[in-house]
Amino acid sequence: MTWDVLWPLLWQATLETLWMVLPSALIAQILGTALGAVLTLTRPGGLRPQAVVYRGLDAVVNVGRSLPFIILLVLLIPLTRLITGTSIGSTAATVPLTMAAIPFVARLVDGALRDVPGGVVEAARAMGASTAQTVFKVLLPEARPALVHGFTVMLVSLIGYSAMAGAIGGGGLGDVAIRYGYQRFETGVMIATVLALLVLVQAVQWLGDRIATRTDHR
């Protein structure tokens, strides 16, 4: 395969990967943050302890985290159809990717929020902050660097997962690696794909670290 064929192929695959990963990451970040915040608030000793709610959500998050992605991919086919109208292609892959990332984000957010010093939270409460104000004006802003870092870690994981989604027709870099590199024994394409993934992951990690550091005033 020559460069003038490989290059558009890789470029197209990279765009597909981003198309799968970025919307999934954004939606998962929003829903996962909400879930993580609820975990932090409802845990014993939290601002709004609710043992039953906490134990239920905690179990759901653990199950979500322990399901292998390839299984989730198959399990979610009916839901994927319901939402996107199809179960193959890049757009369809966003559903399982989002669902896999939500518990991951929830866990990271829960940890990040619990790392906000208790004294700061109590100070806000003593100033008369409501629970919602404590979450939106104190907990989330104070945890911002950890949240940015968590988002980066999640994005990198999703790029990895998206390669698996590619295997069942999701497209993207993983799909190219398997179709050309593995099934047609084109080792060169395989290596080029791996390099493209490497560059993508590096770029995401570098950007994420940079934003986290830049916006951290500690």
Partner 1 sequence: MSTAPPPPALEFSRVTKTYPGQPQAALQDLTLRIPRGSRTGIIGRSGAGKSTLVRLISGLETPDLGHIQVQGQPLTPATLKQLQARTGLVFQHFNLLAQRSVLHNVTLPLELRGTPKVLRERRARELLQLVGLEALAGRYPAQLSGGQKQRVGIARALVTDPDLLLADEATSALDPETSAGLLTLLTELQRERDLTLILVTHQLEVIRAATTHVAVLDQGRLVEAGETASVLRQPQSAVTRALLDAHRPEHPLLAGETLHHLTLPDLGAATLDRLARQRARIVRAEAHALGVDVWLTAPDHVPAAELGRTGLGGTGLSGIETPRLIPEVSA
Question: Taking the complex as a whole, how short is the minimal distance between the CB of residue 30 and partner 1, in angstroms?
Answer: 20
Q: Find the farthest-apart pair of alpha carbons in the chain and give their distance in angstroms, rounded.
A: 68
Residues in the chain: 218
Nearer to partner 1, 86 or 130 (CB): 130
Alpha carbon 99 to its chain's center: 9
Q: Least distance from C-beta 191 to partner 1, angstroms? A: 43
Nearest distance from C-beta of residue 130 to partner 1, angstroms = 8
Question: By C-beta, is 40 or 134 nearer to partner 1?
Answer: 134
Q: By CB under 8 A, is residue 78 in contact with partner 1?
A: no
Of residues 13-42, those binding partner 1 (CB under 8 A): none
Position 216 contacts partner 1 (CB under 8 A):
yes
Is residue 44 a contact point for partner 1 (CB under 8 A)? no
Decide: is 141 part of the binding site for partner 1 (CB under 8 A).
Answer: yes
x/- map, 85-104, partner 1, by CB under 8 A = --------------------
Residue 141, token pair as written in the block: 């802003």
Q: How many helices (H) and strands (E) does the chain have?
A: 11, 0
Angle between helices 3-42 and 90-114 (to 10 degrees): 40
Helices (H), 127-177: 131-133, 140-142, 144-165, 173-176
66 vs 22: CA distance, rounded Å: 23
CA–CA dist 50, 178 (Å, integer):
47
Stretch that binds partner 1, among 9-17, 31-39, 93-101, 112-120 (CB under 8 A): 112-120
Q: Which residues bind partner 1 (CB under 8 A)?
A: 117, 119-120, 122-129, 133, 137-138, 141-142, 144-145, 215-218
